[in-house]
Structure 1
Amino acid sequence: MTCNINYDIVATGSKGNAVVVEKRILIDCGVPYKWLAHHVKGLQVVLLTHIHSDHFHRITIHRLAKERPTLRFACGEWLVKDLVDCGVAMKNIDVMASAANHYLYHGFTVSPVPLSHNVPNCGYKILFHDGRKMFYATDTNNLNGITAKDFNLYMVEANYGTEEIQERIAQKKENGEYAYEHQVLKNHLSKEKCDDFIYSNIGSRGTYVYLHVHEDKWKENHQ
């Protein structure tokens, strides 16, 4: 099904994350400025999730604030100091205080969604005033207690397959090697959990995109 929400996945994965939605919303900013340069003029707001550098590129954020002095930046309270340190004016920061609250922008409303990671993190629900809805979540162990019924677009992490990662852990254990995959299991969402969430929420008008997929799998699926 063709998605009726326009999006451009600038990058996704451990090397950087940035998605531009409807040419005016940037979700995550973990890439060099030049990757975003042709989008900058039309941006209305930057939605930030957490402090990790593949989602929060300090030099790029500083450049965005300099080039677009009226650009809005939205985030949880845990990122406010870092944004100010990057040169973003406090008056341009919208602090997303609670998932129960809705934050109004021109043409759409944003709600934060708390996520379980190894640092404070959130996803977002974006409700366009013409009725379209999208959900975004990456870098989380689970989506327990979160619902997004009948949304038009789901952009959700599907970082690994459970069977595959368990095989890698077992092989490394046998070889006496360190298995970083243990941390992946704690801090990232499996494809199985992603699919469970999507299939329990998606309706007949919905579509979905896997994000933060292992790099080799992403290339394989997007050639």
Structure 2
Amino acid sequence: MISYRIISTGSQGNAAIVNNFVLIDCGVPYKSLAEYVPRLKLVLLTHIHSDHFRPSTLRRLSLERPLLRFGCCRWLVSALMKAGVPTSNIDVLEPDVMYGYGICNVIPVSLVHNVPNCGYKIHFPAGKVFYATDTNNLNGIVARHYDLYMIEANYEDEEIQRKIAEKQAAGEYAYEMQVLRNHLSKAKCNDFIYKNIGPHGRYVYLHCHVDHESREGERQCAAD
């Protein structure tokens, strides 16, 4: 059975550990990861935004674990080097290509965001994981009968449309328009899960939308 630990999810930072030794995203302070660091074998990174990519934590990880592997697509290589990770520890991954790490196989998948971004299919001997956040859609991606789906469910369509209409009527800037363009709705997330999940699959919602006025929505969603 696949185990997972969500260290943090949402605009305050993202990091998840799967099967005790694979870290996906690194947008949190080092102290949030410290107890897990001795077991880590692989760090997978998705995109440059600071809630997913924290240079100081990545630098500390590479110093504490000199043999730790860092996997990313080409758009993160220079930023990872600038953060202080040795080039010899960086694996440049291409979307839709499978890479073998012994402990697992990894397949990056391209995602639609306002910067280059990817999700991951990770195949362990014990099962398969699909991870995707910060994307407008999952069109064309197939992950049938995976054991664990970790997917963004950022907003409810009706609620965000209501907020946009209210702010536009009041002549206010509706930042929710950016959310619609760059993030995945709960409805799209559920549609993908229902099309792909098997009888024994599990799923967890990630990276939920947060109002500037309140963080309650994020706390509720992260707990699902």
TM range (shorter): over 0.9
Percent identity of equivalent pairs: 59
Alignment map for 1:170-185 (pairs within 5 Å) = 170-185=165-180
Residue among 49, 59, 62 paired with 1:62: 59
Report the equivalent of 2:7: 10
Q: CA deviation at 1:82?
A: 0.5
Alignment map for 1:32-47 (pairs within 5 Å) = 32-47=29-44
Report the equivalent of 2:198: 203
Q: CA deviation at 1:209?
A: 0.2
Residue among 184, 187, 191 paired with 1:192: 187
Instruction: Say if 1:109 and 1:129, in contact at 8 Å, map to a contact too.
Output: no
Q: Distance in 1 between matches of 2:220 and 2:100?
A: 38
Residue identity in the other structure for 2:36:
H
Q: Does 1:51 align with 2:48?
A: yes
Q: CA deviation at 1:217?
A: 2.6
Q: Does 1:118 align with 2:114?
A: yes
Q: CA deviation at 1:80?
A: 0.3
Q: CA deviation at 1:98?
A: 2.8
Residue identity in the other structure for 1:220:
Q
Q: Distance in 1 between matches of 2:110 and 2:116?
A: 8
Q: Deviations over 1:159-208 (max 9, x none)?
A: 00111000000000111110000000000000000000000000101010
Q: Does 1:107 align with 2:103?
A: yes
Q: Distance in 2 between matches of 1:116 and 1:17?
A: 18
Please give the TM-score of this superposition, normalised by the length of structure 1.
0.95
Report the equivalent of 2:141: 146
Report the equivalent of 1:92: 89
Q: Deviations over 1:63-101 (max 9, x none)?
A: 1111111110000000000111111111111111131x1
Please give the TM-score of this superposition, normalised by the length of structure 2.
0.95
Q: Distance in 1 between matches of 2:102 and 2:30?
A: 25
Q: Which runs of 4+ in 1 moved over 4 A?
A: none
For structure 2, the residue ranges without an aligned partner over 5 or more in a row are 210-214
Report the equivalent of 1:220: 220
Q: Does 1:30 align with 2:21?
A: no
Please tell me the root mean square deviation across aligned C-alpha atoms, in Å.
1.1
Report the equivalent of 1:78: 75
Q: Distance in 1 between matches of 2:146 and 2:192?
A: 12
Instruction: Indicate the SS of the match to 1:8.
Output: strand
Instruction: Indicate the SS of the match to 2:35.
Output: coil
